[in-house]
Amino acid sequence: MRFVIDFIVQFFTKGSTLYKNLQTMLGFTPTNIALYELALCHRSNNNSATENNERLEFLGDAILGAIIGEHLFIKYPTKPEGYLTDMRSKIVNRKTLNHIGLKIGLKTLMKFNEQDYFLRDSLIFGNALEALIGAIYIDKGYAVTRTFIRKRILIPFVDIELLEGLEVNTKNKLIGWANKNGKKLSFILLEEKVERGRKKFIVGVELEDQIIATAGANNKKDASKIAADEAIKFLEIV
C-alpha cells in the first residue's frame, strides 16, 4: 500500500508544471524535487530559515565561485591571478547573475511576495540562481552542476571580452577615487527597519562628513553596492 501511495505521489509530482519547466530549464531530470522547490522559495514567501532558499544560496554561491574559478584557470593558462580574480568577480556579480536568472525564467517559477513591487525589480532572481545551483549540487553532484553552469550560464550568457572592459566593483572604484584625491569617504548604516515582515537596510555614502548618496536593500552588501553606484553618478566619476 505504501509503495502505491509513493508511486502516485511521484507520478503527479513528475507531471506537474514545475517539474516540466525545471526539466526544460536544467537540461536534466531532477531527482529530489523538494530541493528545487526550496531553491525557488524567497524568504518573503516563507521567513523560516529552513523553508526558504537562503541556505541553498549560501552553498550555491560557493559552488559557483569554485566552478567559475576552475573554468577561468583552464581557459586562460597564461593569465595572472589578478586577471582571473577580476573576471570571476565580474561573472558572479549580483547584477550579472540576476540578469541570467531572469533570462532563464526564474521569475515565473519563484515563490515570492509579488505584492512587494520592490522585489519585482530587485536582485532576488540572481540569488535564486545561486540557490538553484546549490540544489543541483546536492541532488546531482559536482559534475552535473559544472555541466549546468557551463551549458546554461557561461556559453549562452557570459561574454568574456565584453566583461573585460566592464567596471563592476563600483564600491572599490569609489574608495580608490577617494584615496587618490585625499578625500574622507565611508559607508554608513543609516537605518535598519522591517518592511512587510522582512528587514531593509538603508546605507549612505558619506564624503567629507556629507551624505552624497543613499540606497536601501534587503542586505547591507547590496545596499552598499547600490549606494556606491549612485555616488559614482553624483560625482560623475568616469
Catalytic residues: 61, 130
Q: Angle at which helices 94-103 and 124-140 pack, to 10 degrees?
A: 70
Q: Where does residue 206 fall: left (phi above 0), alpha (psi -120 to 50 degrees), or beta otherwise?
A: beta
**CA–CA gap between residue 194 and residue 184 (Å, rounded):** 31
Q: Give 178's contacts (C-beta < 8 A, 6+ positions apart).
A: 184, 185, 207
- CA angle 174/68/100 to nearest 5° reads 75
